[in-house]
C-alpha cells in the first residue's frame, strides 16, 4: 500500500510540474529601458498579469558587464527591465503604455538627474509583433505632439544584474522612484 501511495504522490508531483512548465511556456517576455531600472521595474511590477521582473542590461557591446562598468556609460548597455507576463491577463500594448507614462520618452540619454547613454529610453523588441505594436504606440504619441526619442531595437543578450540588492529595489526598501513619475499620455 505504501508503494502505491508513494507512486501516486510521485505521479501527481510530475503532473503538477508538467502543468507548471506548460503554463510558463505560455508567458511572454518584454524588455524596456527608461532610465534607472529601479523605477521602471517599480511601475511595471504593478501591472496585473506581470509574473516577474528582472533588472539588468542590454544593448551594449561587451559581455557580462558589471554595474560599475555600465555606470561609466562606455559599454553601450542600457539599464533594462525584463518583464515576464501572462498575455491572457495583460497585453504588450498595455505594458508599453505604462512604460511611456512612467518616464519622459522625449529625453535623450537621460531621465531626470540620471545622465548617460545607460539611462536612455529604449524598447528592445523580441519579435516583429512587438516591433509593430511599439511603432503604433510611438506614432500615437508623435501625433499628440511628443518628440519621442525612444530607441526601438531588436533584443540582444540580456544580462541580469547578479547583485541581488538591485532586484526589486523599491519593494525591498519601501521607497518610491525619484526619477519616474506617472504622467497620463493615453
Active site residues: 36
| 110 phi/psi in degrees, rounded to 5 | -175, 165
Task: Evaluate whether 111 touches 181 at the Cβ level (below 8 Å).
Answer: no
C-alpha closest to that of 98 among 137, 132, 57: 137
Task: Evaluate whether 152 touches 111 at the Cβ level (below 8 Å).
Answer: no
CA distances from 146 to 36, 106, 120 (A): 21, 7, 16
Task: Evaluate whether 132 touches 123 at the Cβ level (below 8 Å).
Answer: no
DSSP H helices in the chain: 2-25, 37-45, 67-71, 92-101, 128-143, 169-173
Task: Evaluate whether 124 touches 59 at the Cβ level (below 8 Å).
Answer: yes
Amino acid at each position: 500500500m505504501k508503494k502505491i501511495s508513494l507512486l501516486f504522490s510521485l505521479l501527481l508531483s510530475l503532473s503538477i510540474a508538467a502543468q507548471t512548465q506548460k503554463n510558463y511556456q505560455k508567458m511572454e517576455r518584454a524588455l524596456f529601458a527608461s532610465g534607472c531600472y529601479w523605477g521602471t521595474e517599480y511601475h511595471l511590477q504593478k501591472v496585473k498579469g506581470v509574473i516577474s521582473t528582472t533588472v539588468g542590461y542590454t544593448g551594449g557591446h561587451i559581455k557580462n558587464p558589471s554595474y560599475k562598468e555600465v555606470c561609466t556609460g562606455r559599454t553601450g548597455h542600457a539599464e533594462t527591465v525584463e518583464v515576464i507576463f501572462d498575455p491572457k491577463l495583460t497585453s504588450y500594448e498595455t505594458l508599453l503604455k505604462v512604460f511611456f507614462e512612467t518616464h519622459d520618452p522625449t529625453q535623450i540619454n537621460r531621465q531626470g538627474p540620471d545622465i548617460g547613454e545607460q539611462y536612455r529610453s529604449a524598447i528592445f523588441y523580441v519579435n516583429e509583433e512587438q516591433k509593430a505594436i511599439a511603432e503604433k504606440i510611438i506614432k500615437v504619441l508623435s501625433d499628440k505632439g511628443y518628440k519621442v526619442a525612444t530607441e526601438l531595437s531588436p533584443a540582444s543578450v540580456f544580462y541580469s544584474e547578479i547583485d541581488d540588492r538591485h532586484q526589486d529595489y523599491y519593494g525591498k526598501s519601501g521607497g518610491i522612484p525619484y526619477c519616474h513619475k506617472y504622467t497620463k499620455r493615453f
